[in-house]
Amino acid sequence: MEALFFWVFAVVSVVAGVLVITRRNPVTSALWLVVVMFCLAGLFLLLHGFFLAAAQVIVYAGAIMVLFLFVIMLLNLDDVELGAARPTFVKGLSVALAGGLVLLVVAALLAGRPAPVAQPPAAVATPPAAPAAGEPSFGDPEALARLLFTDYLIPFELASVLLLAAMVGAVVLAKRELRP
């Protein structure tokens, strides 16, 4: 059952990803990106990242992409990209390089796999060692929160300062100049 979900999410996310980068209309691109976000949220769920799946939907699909859509709609762009398109040579080269990169990753993974013996490769679906009694299990928000407020407290505080800076910066940049 999990395998079925994985393949569905994987295929849909790749197809939607291709559609994101090929559509002319930015609004259509943005909506296909939302589809990708959703598929990724589903994949996070399969990987037992419960809090992250919810955060992906709330933050990425629910806030960042809405912001994108706002800006695209307010800019009211033309569909057609004006001017000459990039030369086909550049497009072809970038696709070839990208394809090469994927092949490199696949080759690296195949080379690193142990020689096929009687046992199957460790599936990601195998649960890790059972947690101690009273400890939150893997992927629980409580486990994440525990780490966030003890070991990773400084990054947490820095992230909040970063968000403050981004908020101030965005307001300043988007403000119209006040006439004296």
Q: How far apart are CA 102 and CA 81, in angstroms?
A: 29
Footprint of another protein on 125-144 (CB under 8 A): 125, 128-129, 138-141, 143-144
Phi, psi values for residue 102, rounded to 5°: -65, -45
Which residue, 130 or 133, has its beta carbon nearer to another protein? 130
Q: Which two tokens stand for residue 117?
A: 């013996």
Q: How many residues of this chain interact with another protein, rule: CB under 8 A?
A: 99
Footprint of another protein on 8-67 (CB under 8 A): 10, 13-14, 17-18, 20-21, 26-27, 29-31, 33-34, 36-37, 40, 43-44, 46-64, 66-67
The amino acid that residue 93 corresponds to is: L
Sign of CA dihedral 49, 53, 56, 59: negative
Please, what is the minimum distance in Å from the beta carbon of residue 29 to another protein? 5
Footprint of another protein on 74-133 (CB under 8 A): 74-75, 77, 81-83, 86, 90-91, 94-95, 98-99, 101-102, 105-106, 109, 113, 121-125, 128-129
Please, what is the minimum distance in Å from the beta carbon of residue 33 to another protein? 5
Q: Which of 173, 178, 179, 180 binds another protein (CB under 8 A)?
A: 173
Q: How far apart are CA 173 and CA 69, in angstroms?
A: 18
Q: How far apart are CA 88 and CA 69, in angstroms?
A: 29
The amino acid that residue 106 corresponds to is: V
